[in-house]
Amino acid sequence: MEILEDKALIFRTRNPDKYSIIPKHKVIERDDGGFDVAVYWGLDECRVLRNLGVKDVPSPITRKYKWPGRYKPMHHQIETAAFLTMHRKAFVFSEPGTGKTLAALWAADYLMQIKHVRRVLILCPLSIMQSAWLADLSNSIIHRFGQIRIDQRSQTMQAPDMFGKPGILYRFDSLTHRHLHF
């Protein structure tokens, strides 16, 4: 896979018709009888390529995002944020202290900037809600906000979610299968 001028992804294929479902693509015939396909490097296009079985499709967050805040992202945080942007539903099970919280906030902020999501629901233990999520939010994604109001009776935290829209954040240890709808 080659990146052309930070605008398009180019890859080789034997079956260019497979990619005709992508509106922003161009097929280029090679001298050896094969084909190159150029596809606009956008999030939707990258997700379609991944779903069509193209390996190692880079997320556009790696070129377009400004990575706000006082911390410069480490390589594994960029990879985590890229993974989260490429998958509509995802879990991050990295080791403690690897910057999962900040990577997830950067991914959510990027998706909000390009208007792919309006709201984000974050499920986490109550013990780290203030110390991890709100601290990283106020240190890095300073143009977003979050508030928490705990309702002791229902075991839920009610808040405008981390990015300013109304939502409910459930305590992780109180979730049951009836709370999760996929």
Over the stretch 68-87, which tens digit does the pLDDT of each residue have? 988 899 999 999 999 999 99
Over the stretch 128-179, which tens digit does the pLDDT of each residue have? 777 777 778 778 887 776 666 555 655 555 444 444 443 334 444 444 444 4
CA pair distance 179, 182, nearest whole angstrom? 10
Q: Phi and psi of 16, rounded to 5°?
A: -70, -20
Among 102, 161, 159, smallest CA distance to 133 is for: 102
pLDDT at 90 exceeding the cut of 80: yes
* Cα–Cα distances in angstroms (integers) from residue 64 to residues 3, 43, 145, in the given order: 13, 11, 22
| pTM score of the predicted model | 0.76
* Proportion of the chain above pLDDT 70, given as a percent: 78
- SS3 state of residue 38: strand
Q: Which token pair is 122? A: 């974050």
